Chain A
Amino acid sequence: MATSSVSKGCFVFKPNFKKRKISVPIEEYFNEGKNESEDSKLRFETYQVIWQQMKSETEKMQEELNKNLFDSLIKFLQKSHSGFQKNSRDWGCQIKLREIPTAALILGVNVTDHEFTFRSLTEAIQNNVTPYVVKLQARDCPDIKHFLQKLFSQLMDCHVDVESKEEEKDIQKKTHCSMDSLSSWYMNVTQKTDQGKPRKKRTSSQWQSPPVVLILKDMESFTTKVLQDFIIISSQHLHEFPLILIFGIATSPVIIHRLLPHAVSSLLCIEIFQSLSCKEHLTTVIDKLLLTTQFPFNLSEKVLQILTSIFLYYDFSIQNFIKGLQLSLLEHFYSQPLSVLCCNLPEAKRRINFLSDNQCENIRRLPSFRRYVEKQATEKQVALLTNERFLKEETQSLLESLHVYHTNYFLVLRCLHQFTSSLPKYPLGRQIRELYCTCLEKNIWDSEEYASALQLLRMLAKDELMTILQKCFSVLNSSSEKQLGSTAKRIEELLAQLQSLDAEVKEEEDASGSQSKGLQKTDLYHLQKSLLEMKELRRTGKKQTKFEVLREKVVNFIDSLVREYLLPPETQPLYEAVYFTAAHTLHEHLNAAPRLALHTALNNPYYYLKNEVLKSEEGCIPNVAPDICIAYKLHLECSRLINLVDWSEAFATVVTAAEKTDANSVTSEERNDIIHARFIRAVSELELLGFVKPTKRKTDHVARLTWGGC
C-alpha cells in the first residue's frame, strides 16, 4: 500500500493476523543486526536486571529525599483546618476562616521532575490527610468553567466510596458546575459517611470533614483571571467547603504576588515550602548509583562529564540524567560483547567458565589486557595467549582485583573529598563528582590543582584537621568490606597523636605569648621592622612545632593513599568490561545539533559523500556538488532579499560549467530547461528547510531567513 496520496495524510496498517499476535521479543532486536552476537541474550538480561535495580534505587532515593518536605507539608495540612473542625468562636479563628490556607511549594526550574514529586505527594496526602486530592494543570483550565468542571469531575473520582459512579457522572453532566453545587456535594458526601458504616482504618475517618486539597501543578502558567476568580469564589464558600491550595512554583515565591493583586492574595494564608535543590539531588544520585560497588557498571570520565554538563547547562533535570544513564547502560551492553562480565562478582566468575572461544579472543584483544600480558613473564604470556583454561582462571582473578580496586577507590575518593571539600577556593572542586571526574581522567597527583590542594592542606588548623580525620575514619568504617582496615587504624593513631598534642600546644602558646610582649607600643616604622625581623627569624630558624610535623605526616599519609588507590581505571586490566567509554554516541543521541549537521551537509558535502571530486578547501564548494549545496552557497552571498532571476542565472552558470563535457547529446534548450528545473527543486528544498521564504515585498524575490554563515 502506498503512503502518498493527494487526499489523505494518515495511513493505518493493520496486519491481517492481528488476533494471533506473534510479537517479536525485544531480545531479538538486541541480537540481530550485530554480527558477533556473543552471549547477547545474557547481556540483555543483565542489562534489564541492572536497569531495574537502578530505577528502583533512584525512586527509593527520591522518596527519601522528599520525605522531609512531605512531612512538614502534611503537618501544615492537618493543622490548617483545625479551626473548621472545632467550629470555635474564637476571633482569630474567625479571621482565619476567611483565608484559604495555601502552601507554596517551590520546586525549582526542572519542571520535568515535578511530576514524580506530585504523584508521591498525592499519595502521601491521600494516606494521611484526606481522600479528596485534586491535581490541576494550567493547560486543562483555560477558563473558570473548565477549571470548576475539572475540579468537580476529579473530586468525583477521588471519592471512592460512591456506590454508583454512573449516577454521579450523570449528575455532573446535568448540573451546572458551580461552587454551590460543589459545596452541596461535599455536605452530602461527608454526612453520608458520618451516618454510614464506620470507615475502615483510614486515618482521615477521625476527621468529621476532611479538607479538599487542590494542587495547582504549574502555578505560573495559569491565567491570572482564572486564579483570581477561583480564589475569590472559593473564599466565599470556605465555611462550607474546606479548601486547601498547594501551588507548585518553579521560579520564586514572589510570583504569587505578581500574579495576584493584593485584594486576592490577602485571601490566602500562605506558607512556603522549599524542596531540595536539584544539584543536591544530583549529588545523591551520583553517590548512590555511581560511587558504589553495588552496581558493577561504571562511566568513564567523558561520559560523566557529558551527562553532568547536560544537567547543569541545559535542564537541571534528574529524569534526563537518569535517561542518559539508561542509554549509556544500554549502549554498553549492546556494543561491548564482554559486558557479559558486567555483573556482581560471583555471577561474573561463574559466567567466565562458560565463555566461548570467541569471547576469549575478545578478552585477548582488549588493550588493557594486552598491556597486562606484556608485563608478564614469557611463559605466562604464552599460556595466556594460547591456553583458554588458564586465561579463564586469570580473568577470574583479574576481575576480583578489579572489584577490590573499586571498593578501595570509592573509599579513598570519599576520604580525599573530605579533605579537599573544605579548602578555600576548592582547587579540586566542591562536589565529589568533580573530584571523581579528575581522578577518572588521569593521575590526579600530576595535576597542579592537586599540588595546590596539598599545599593548602599543609596550612590547616588543628581542629579542622581533626574533624576531617574523624570523618574519614567514619567513612572507612562505614564499608562492610575490610580492605582498608589498616588504613582506618592508621588514621585512628594519627587522631590519638593529635589529641595528645594538646598539652604541648599550650606550652607553645606560652612561648608565643612571651614573644608578643616584645612588641610594645612603637611607631609604625619600628613595628614593621620588628615584624620583618621576626619573619626572618622564623624562616632561618625553621623550627617546626610538633603539630606541624604531625600535620605533615597526615598530609603525606593521604598523599600516599591517593597514589596507591586512585589510579585511573585505564590502568586496570579488563576495565573495558565495566566502563562505558563511548561518549560521542551519547552526545550524538542526547544532545544533537541538527543545525550544525545541516550546515556541514550544505557547506562540506565531502564530509558525508566521501568522493574525491568533492574535496575542497574550507569555505569553497566544487561546482559538481549537489544542487542544493550550490544554491545554498550562492544564497549566502545575498542580504535579506534575493532576486530569483539573479539566483537562477548564477546557479545556471555554475551548473553549466560543471556539465560542460557531457552535454553533447541534448539540445541546449532542453538542457537549460533541465537546469531551471533543478534550480526550482533546490530553491523549494531550501524553502522547506527554512532558509528562504517567498515574499511580497518585491516581485520574484525571496527573503533570506538566516543571517551569517548558516
Chain B
Amino acid sequence: MNKLELNEDKVLEVRFVGDDDVLNHILDREGGAKFKKERPQLLVNTKKIIKKPEYDLKEDGIEVLKDKNYVEVLGRDVQESLKNGSATVGGNKVYSFQNRKHPEKMAKLASELAKTPRKNVSYSLKNDPEIMTDIPQCSKGHSPSDEVQLKNNDKSEFISTTRVLRKRLIAPRNHSDSESEYSASNSEDDEEVAQEFEEDTNKAILSPKTQAQNRVVSAPVYKATPSKKMKRDKTSDLVEEYFEAHSSSKVLTSDRTLQKLKKAKLDQQTLRNLLSKVSPSFSAELKQLNQQYEQLFHKWMLQLHLGFNIVLYGLGSKRDLLERFRATMLQDSIHIVINGFFPGISVKSILNSITEEVLDHMGTFRNILDQLDWIINKFKEDSSLELFLLIHNLDSQMLRGDKSQQIIAQLSSLRNIYLIASIDHLNAPLMWDHVKQSLYNWLWYETTTYSPYTEETSYENSLLVKQSGSLPLSSLTHVSRSLTPNARGIFRLLIKYQLDNQDNPSYLGLSFQDFYQQCREAFLVNSDLTLRAQLTEFRDHKLIRTKKGTDGVEYLFIPIDNGTLSEFLEKEEEES
C-alpha cells in the first residue's frame, strides 16, 4: 500500500513542512482515497456479494458502500423496521475510531444542549450543526463560560457556586496540567493554551507527520473554514488517530472530586425516594412500545414450543415485560424465574432449584456436570415434563462465564425446557461461540423499553451509591443475640478498642496477647484457650479477621466500617 510507504518515509526524516505543502499533501491523499473508493464499486458490478474484509477499518467509503448494499439486500420496509434499530445507522458510525478529545468538550456540549430552549428544539439545534460534529475544536462564537455566566443569572446557584469552588481549588499540579486547566474566564486564550499543550505532548511521542497535522489544526486557515476541517477529518489516518488516543498513558481530566461537592454519595434508600419524585417522561409512547411487545407473547409461546429459545435485547429494563409475560402466559406451567443480576446467583443454584424443587430430588451430586447429566436424563425420559426458564440478564457478572453459559445452553437445548432470557450488556453476544449458539437456538427479539434498570442496578455497588451498611448491622445484632454474655463482652471489647483507634492511621488491630490480657482483666475468660474457642466462632461468622503483623504477632480486627460499629454499640447499650 502506498500509504504505508509514505508513512515510513515520514518517520525516517524530520523536516519542516509548510502549511501549503501539508494542504497539498492532504488533497493528494484524498485523491488516493477516492481511487480506493472506486475499486469496490467495480467489484460490486461484477459480483453481487462481496465478503466483507475484516480488517478494512481504514476505508470508510467501502464500509458505507457495503452497508448500503447489505441493507438493500435485506430490503426491510420502513414501516416494519421499527422493531430493529439497525436499519438507520451504518456500522461505520458505531465502530469508528475515537478522536482525540478535547478535555473541555463535555461542558461545551452540555451548555450547547442546555441552551436550546425547550419548545423549539429542532430549530436552534439546526442552527449550529458544526458544533455538534465530532471535531476536537470549539467554535469561536460561544464559549462555555459565557454560556454559564448567562445561565447563572436565571438559574439555581448550583453551577455558579461550583464554578467558584473549582476556581479556588485549582491545586498545584504539574506544569502541563495547570496550563490546560480551564479557568473559565477567557475562553479564547484557553483554546490556544490547550491547543499548544496538545502539540507539546504530541511532539514528544508522535511522528512528525501527525505533528504537521496538528499544526494544520492550529493554523488560522482552519479556524476560518469549517469545511476544511471536515476534510481533514475525513482524510486523517484513522488508525493513527486511534493509537494517538491510546498511546499516552496520561489522560487529561480535571482533578475535581466528589468530596468537594457537598452531596457526594447517596444511599440506596434516599436515591429511591428522590427518584420516585421524578415524573416519568414519554409515558404514552413507552406504553405504546410495551403494548407492541405484549402482542408478541403468543408468538413467543409458539416459537418456544417449536424448539426455539428467545432472547430479548435493547435498551431498557426488560424485567417488567418478562414479568408480564410470566403473568399472562405461564400461570399454568412450571417455571423458574432467575434473576441473573442477583449477586449471589450461580449455575449451581439454578441446577439445585431444578433438581430439588422441580424434580423433588433430595440427593446430592458430586459435581455440577453430574447434576446436569442427571437433569438431562430426567427430562429425556419423561417427555411430559415441561419447564420454562426465565432468565433476567443472562449476561450478568455471575452467569457470563464460559462454563455457566455452556451449562445453561445445554439445558436450553433440551426439547422440553424452554428458555426465554434478556441481555443488556453491550458485548453480551460475545459470550457465545458457534457451538453455544446452536445449542441455544436463539430467536432474537428487540424490545427497547427505556424503562429504568431499577432492580438490576440496586444490587451492584454502584459508583455513587453509598453502602448504607444496614445489612451488616442487622446481621451483627442477629449474631450477637445468639452469643453468651461473655462472648458478647469479648466482642464489645474489641469493637471499643477499634473505635478508640479509628483515627490512628497505623492501627493494625489488637494483638492477641493484649486482647487476652484485657479479657482477663474484665473477667471474661480464664485461659487463652477459651478465648481462642470464642474467637473461632466469630471467625466462622466472618466477624473477625486476623492479620500477621511485621513482628509475626497475630492482630485481630473487625472488617466492618466504624460507623456501623458505633451504631451497633449504641443499640446494644440501649437494650441493656
Contacts and interface: CB of A to CB of B under 8 A. Distances in A.
Contacts of B331: 15
A615 interface: yes
Contacts of A15: 331-334
Nearest to A672: B158
B193 interface: no
B151 interface: yes
Interface stretch (B15-23, B110-118, B478-486): B110-118
Nearest to A669: B156
Nearest to A661: B118
B44 interface: no
Contacts of B85: 593, 596-601, 607-608
Nearest to A16: B332
A11 interface: yes
Contacts of B80: 584-585
A147 to B, nearest CB: 14
Interface string A613-651: 111110111111010101001110111111111110111
Contacts of A317: 434, 438
B463 A702 contact: yes
B173 interface: no
Contacts of A626: 281-282, 450
Interface in B407-443: 423-429, 434-435, 437-438, 441, 443
A234 to B, nearest CB: 24
Q: In this complex, which of A14, A591, A661 has the most chain B Cβ atoms within 10 angstroms of its Cβ? A: A14
A656 B155 contact: yes
Given A600-B88, A676-B263, A684-B460, A583 B93 contact: no
A679 B49 CA distance: 46
B444 A589 contact: yes
B298 A33 contact: yes
A644 B302 contact: no
B306 interface: yes
A320 B438 contact: yes
Interface string B283-323: 00110010000011111011101101000011110000001
A639 B302 contact: no
Nearest to B84: A588
A258 interface: no
Interface string B76-102: 110011111110110101111110110
A434 B47 CA distance: 10
B375 to A, nearest CB: 14
Interface string A674-702: 10111111011101111100100011111
A12 B387 CA distance: 10
Contact of A707 (B98, B255, B344): B98
A688 B299 contact: no
Given A14-B334, A657-B116, A694-B463, A29 B158 contact: no
B162 interface: yes
A650 B340 CA distance: 33
B203 to A, nearest CB: 19
A633 B113 contact: yes
Contact of A700 (B258, B306, B332, B339): B258
A592 interface: yes
B426 A600 contact: no
A674 B424 CA distance: 26
B457 A29 contact: no
Nearest to A320: B438
A309 interface: yes
Contacts of A630: 113
B443 A709 contact: no
A96 B439 CA distance: 41
Contact of B129 (A602, A617, A674): A617
Given A26-B306, A646-B106, A684-B464, A323 B349 contact: no
A654 interface: yes
A652 B159 contact: yes
A584 B76 contact: yes
Interface stretch (A1-9, A84-92, A509-517): A1-9
Contacts of B94: 595-596, 599, 708-710
A139 interface: yes
B257 interface: yes
B555 interface: no
A623 B109 CA distance: 11
A407 interface: no
B337 A3 contact: yes
A617 B126 contact: yes
A639 B86 contact: no
Contact of B125 (A309, A616, A635): A616
A676 B108 CA distance: 19
A658 interface: yes
A195 interface: no
Contacts of B245: 639-640, 707
A582 to B, nearest CB: 8
A112 interface: yes
Nearest to A655: B114
A140 B96 CA distance: 41
A32 interface: yes
Nearest to B433: A111
B274 interface: yes
A13 interface: yes
Given A13-B335, A599-B85, A708-B95, A621 B113 contact: yes
Looking at A112, A319, A323, A599, the one whose CB has the most chain B CB atoms below 10 A away is A599
A642 B353 contact: no
Contacts of A680: 266, 271, 462-465
Interface stretch (A17-25, A177-185, A203-211, A237-245): A17-25
A221 B405 CA distance: 18
Contacts of B429: 594-595
A690 B118 contact: no
A442 to B, nearest CB: 12
Given A13-B335, A680-B462, A605 B450 contact: yes
B170 to A, nearest CB: 14
Given A594-B423, A617-B125, A633 B109 contact: yes
Contacts of B441: 323
Contacts of A679: 464
B106 A638 contact: yes
A706 B245 CA distance: 12
Residue in A588, A621, A640, A674 with the greatest tally of chain B CB atoms within 10 Å: A588
Contacts of A651: 110
A623 B342 contact: no
Between A437, A610, A649, A671, the greatest number of chain B beta carbons within 10 A of the residue's beta carbon is seen for A649
Interface stretch (B228-236, B246-254, B494-502, B525-533): B246-254
Contacts of B426: 594-595, 598, 689-691, 705-706, 710
B64 to A, nearest CB: 14
Nearest to B358: A12
Given A10-B345, A14-B334, A626-B281, A590 B253 contact: no
B51 interface: yes
B49 A309 contact: yes
Given A3-B326, A617-B126, A657-B151, 6 more contacts: A11-B337, A13-B336, A649-B110, A653-B114, A676-B274, A688-B460
12 contacts: A14-B357, A302-B75, A313-B52, A607-B82, A617-B132, A633-B109, A634-B109, A639-B252, A644-B464, A668-B156, A673-B274, A689-B315
